[in-house]
Chain A
Amino acid sequence: MRKKETFYRGLTYISGALVFFLVGFLFLYIFFKGYKVINLNFLLDVPQGMVLGQEGGIAPAIIGSFLSTFIACGVAGFFGIFTSIYLVFYEKNQKKIKIIQSIIKCIGGIPSIVFGLFGYTLFTIYFGFGKSIISGGLTLGVMIFPVVEIRIEKSLREIDENILKASYSMGVSKFYTIYKIGIPYCLKEIMASILLGYNYAIGATAPIMFCMAVINSPIAFDIKKPAMSLSYHLYTLMTQGISMKMAYGTAFILLALIVVVTIIFQILLRKRDE
């Protein structure tokens, strides 16, 4: 066998093994270090201890993360669904579609920290929302909007043209066609897109560092107040050296929330392929 083939053979097996080892290692490491910390107290209590966070739990962080992510998914889902419906079914001018699509792509490429800057200045300061879940949620919503919109639009464009034409030629109105054919046909993809947005939003730290996240907050559901978030809590626990044990636990919860949703996401998309 020639050298080149041996080289590629080696590279392939080594890196294949390396990547799968890495994936396994990442999960097992967090799992085995983290699961010991998890108990009811950890999930339902506020942070406590000499330095806040050393003991107690992370309940406010879980609530804060969820609330802000729900706001984000709601905002991005609402705008994403209607914008893509308009672009696919109503707008005829190709040039306008191109312009709107390219600005969405453009925003999709902006790094998350720049959204943090934007959200902090606009929502927190100029709009006067202060450091609050609502500012954080809106910032995250703007961040995940391009991801959600692009995916929904793609799935709507994949609807079989013939079904739509048949519906129109029967004299069915456009709204009824979209409502009865378009949306049900793509429902799974739409849900999957929003779930993907959820995944991005719940793990994001940089955008909410300035406009939402604080080190300690009570268990409350008030969206006008600042709140903890899982990702930011993990960051402070780690960088300020508060507690490694708690950091592992927080990382475990955060990862679990993401893995569960990713599995649902994969199932939603797989059903369609079959």
Chain B
Amino acid sequence: MDWKKLDKFFECFTKGVTFFSFFILSFIIIFIVKESLSLFKEIGVIDFIFGKRWYPSSYSNPAMGIFNIILATIYISILSIVIAFPVGLGCSIFLSCVLKEKTKNILKPYIDILAGIPSVIYGFLGLIIVVKFFEILGRPSGESVLSGGIVLSIMVLPFMIDVCQETMTRIRKKYENSSKSLGISRWYMISELIVPASKKAMIVSIILGLGRALGETMAVMMVIGNAPIFPKLFGKAQTISSLIALEMGMAEVGSVHYSGLFASGLCLMIMILLINFSVEFIKNRYLGDEV
């Protein structure tokens, strides 16, 4: 067999496939920008982002401003991080410093499975447990920003734990022998050495979790109540992704409403890209090989 020819052919083939996928991926971004352009022409970027009313299908006075919706998206993501962070921190210490290596290797996959559960199942459980719980407590409606935050916090936990515990394990391995030989207790080492030293990893985990939380659709949509109003802790609200998921079926292709949904998707994408870039930046600039 002529290997040289085959080799050449294979190189061309992989090259073709690579450039085809590169083309498709760039096309996605261009496509989304293109579809949202007509809204920006019609309404304007400022009015779209800072407008407070979202009534796309009203005849007399249509308005498309997603300020409340953006705010709710950010609010619910930050809330979920606030809830998840202490638990994630504690659990990372638990995995990296308390458990023996063997036990940890058995238990860690269970947390990884948590990351693989589809969001619709989280939404389902959120609806029958968290929302019900608030209703039992006597609130007229359990669907609120807080329920969304609680459900989301469970979803971002595995990602936060993953980043933190890896760094903590590395730091513990590095200093364990010296601190033991100095006669320092384990908890002194944890509180004075391991936690401060993994501060940057914690920041990365927070930003990473935030990126996850912002784009989450199903779980949030099912428990948040979906009303495009100013978000309050116990009130209903709507996030960008749930807005798209709920209204896409109704919007006529090519209409302003349709283009508005693409524009909201674009906003969400830009927010997440900024977050991902800042993670990369922090990792490269400040962490080096720490994380």
B161 at the interface (CB under 8 A from A): yes
B82 at the interface (CB under 8 A from A): no
Instruction: Tell me the bound Cα distance from A6 to B190 in angstroms.
Output: 11
Closest to B248 in A: A210
Q: A16 touching B272 by the CB < 8 A rule? A: no
Instruction: Tell me the bound Cα distance from A125 to B248 in angstroms.
Output: 13
Q: A231 touching B217 by the CB < 8 A rule? A: no
Provide the main secondary structure of the chain A interface.
helix
Q: B14 touching A258 by the CB < 8 A rule? A: no
Which one, B26, B154, B265, contacts A22 given CB within 8 A? B154
Instruction: Tell me the bound Cα distance from A202 to B119 in angstroms.
Output: 11
Q: Which of A5-24 contact B (CB under 8 A)?
A: 5-9, 11-16, 18-20, 22-23
Which stretch from B56-64, B87-95, B281-289 is at the chain A interface?
A: B87-95
Closest to A109 in B: B276
Report A240 CB to chain B, min CB distance, Å. Answer: 12
A83 at the interface (CB under 8 A from B): yes
**0/1 interface trace, chain B 247-285, chain A, CB 8 Å (1 if under):** 011000100000001100100110011001000000000
- Known contacts being A116-B248, A251-B121, is A13 close to B94, with CB within 8 Å? yes
Q: B187 touching A203 by the CB < 8 A rule? A: no
Which one, B95, B161, B248, contacts A117 given CB within 8 A? B248
Interface centre among B93, B121, B222, B262 (most CB of A within 10 A): B121
CB contacts (< 8 Å) of B6 on chain A: these are 173, 175
Which one, A6, A86, A114, contacts B265 given CB within 8 A? A114
B244 at the interface (CB under 8 A from A): yes
Closest to B154 in A: A22
- Known contacts being A15-B90, A82-B18, is A234 close to B120, with CB within 8 Å? yes
Instruction: Tell me the bound Cα distance from A29 to B128 in angstroms.
Output: 11
Instruction: Tell me the bound Cα distance from A149 to B17 in angstroms.
Output: 12
B114 at the interface (CB under 8 A from A): yes
- Known contacts being A8-B191, A235-B222, is A173 close to B113, with CB within 8 Å? no
Instruction: Tell me the bound Cα distance from A202 to B276 in angstroms.
Output: 25
CB contacts (< 8 Å) of B14 on chain A: these are 82-83, 85-86, 90
Q: A142 touching B117 by the CB < 8 A rule? A: no
Closest to A206 in B: B217
CB contacts (< 8 Å) of A199 on chain B: these are 116
- Known contacts being A83-B17, A90-B15, A103-B26, is A14 close to B90, with CB within 8 Å? yes
**0/1 interface trace, chain A 205-230, chain B, CB 8 Å (1 if under):** 11001100000000000000000000
- Known contacts being A1-B187, A12-B94, A235-B218, is A203 close to B120, with CB within 8 Å? yes
CB contacts (< 8 Å) of A106 on chain B: these are 25, 29, 273, 276
Which stretch from B104-112, B169-177, B227-235 is at the chain A interface?
A: B104-112
B211 at the interface (CB under 8 A from A): yes
Instruction: Tell me the bound Cα distance from A90 to B184 in angstroms.
Output: 53
CB contacts (< 8 Å) of A111 on chain B: these are 214-217, 241, 268-269, 272
CB contacts (< 8 Å) of B222 on chain A: these are 235, 238-239
A191 at the interface (CB under 8 A from B): no
Report B172 CB to chain A, min CB distance, Å. Answer: 13
Q: B7 touching A174 by the CB < 8 A rule? A: yes
**0/1 interface trace, chain A 87-112, chain B, CB 8 Å (1 if under):** 10011000000001001111101111
CB contacts (< 8 Å) of B90 on chain A: these are 8, 11-16
Q: B17 touching A120 by the CB < 8 A rule? A: no
CB contacts (< 8 Å) of A254 on chain B: these are 118, 120-121
Sampled A-B contacts (7; CB under 8 Å): A23-B110, A23-B114, A79-B20, A109-B273, A113-B217, A231-B218, A239-B222
Given A79-B17, A206-B217, A255-B121, 11 more A-B residue pairs with CB atoms under 8 Å apart are A19-B161, A79-B20, A86-B17, A111-B269, A113-B244, A121-B31, A173-B4, A174-B11, A232-B120, A234-B121, A247-B124
By Cβ-Cβ distance, the 3 closest A-B pairs, closest first, are: A203-B118, A111-B215, A15-B90
